[in-house]
Amino acid sequence: MHGIALGVAYQGTHFHGFARQPGMRTVYSALLQAVQCMGSDVTELRGLSRTDSGVHARAQVVAFDSQQAIVSRGWVLGLNHHLPADLAVRSARTVPVGFNPRFASLGKRYVYSLLVDPLPDPLLAHATWHVHQPFDFDLARAELEAAVGTHDFAAFRSASDTRPSTERTILRCSVTRNAGDPRCVDLEVEGAAFMHNMVRILAGTVVDVGLGRKKPGTLALALASRNRQDSGRTAPPQGLVLAASQLDWPEGTGEAWPASA
């Protein structure tokens, strides 16, 4: 058997999220189908992050074990031949059999993008949350700062997330105007692990403060109260992208393509 880990990117608009769901077009099913098109016996994939319906990724990692001896470059070029335009393999490397990227995660960086403008822009609609002015950029920036560090994020997860521990660590965050398009504001959040909807509720809270719908200090108060009622809206999925991921590659990780990946 041979273990393979793929670097995967997708535009989430027309996927029902990453995870396998019977009868649904998901990233998992489209990718598995492409792997099988290469003559493989693979029936199970292991993903780094279960991104939601509509959420995008530049840095998803997906591992599987195959009886085929195919070099990394072969997996990348071969799979892209079988994948639709909204899903691509960007890199591959050989890993030990059974490798699960979720348990090797050192950190993930999410970017949530806003279009701050009085008018909608259809060319950005699939990749931004359109918020109307007046949006107070400085208030939003100050608000997100409170998320940095190790906190109990119980107020920042969806009801569907029932994992016992709600403590997480945010290593870094920022709110910046997009250099290429000053109407766009990017919220970046970097951490080791996240709960379901956590980044989207952080973004929704920050936007609610930036728009004056919630008072400055809401995020810190919700961290303290641990009550979902005290945090803000869940920001819609299309603004979110899994932008980067860092893995603790195990011993036995082998040749990669491209070499720089």
Q: How far is CA 96 from CA 99, 232, 252, in A?
A: 6, 42, 6
CA separation for the pair 32, 43 (Å, rounded): 7
> Least distance (Å) from a second copy to the CB of residue 227?
33
Where do the H-state alpha helices sit in the chain?
27-37, 72-82, 137-145, 198-210, 218-225
> Least distance (Å) from a second copy to the CB of residue 62?
14
Q: Is residue 230 among the annotated active site residues?
A: no
**Which of 92, 147 has the CB closer to a second copy?**
92
**Which of 35, 219 has the CB closer to a second copy?**
35
Asked if 63 contacts 95 with a C-beta cutoff of 8 angstroms, the reply is yes
Catalytic residue among 52, 65, 117, 186: 52
Q: Residue 150: beta bridge partners?
A: 169
Residues 150, 198, 132: CA angle, nearest 5 degrees: 120
> Least distance (Å) from a second copy to the CB of residue 9?
5
**Which of 78, 157 has the CB closer to a second copy?**
78
Where does this chain bind a second copy (CB under 8 A)?
9-11, 56, 58, 76, 80, 85-88, 90, 118-123, 125-127, 179-180, 241, 258
**Which of 45, 242 has the CB closer to a second copy?**
242
> Least distance (Å) from a second copy to the CB of residue 38?
17
Q: How far is CA 254 from CA 36, 38, 75, 144, in A?
A: 23, 21, 14, 39
Catalytic residues: 52
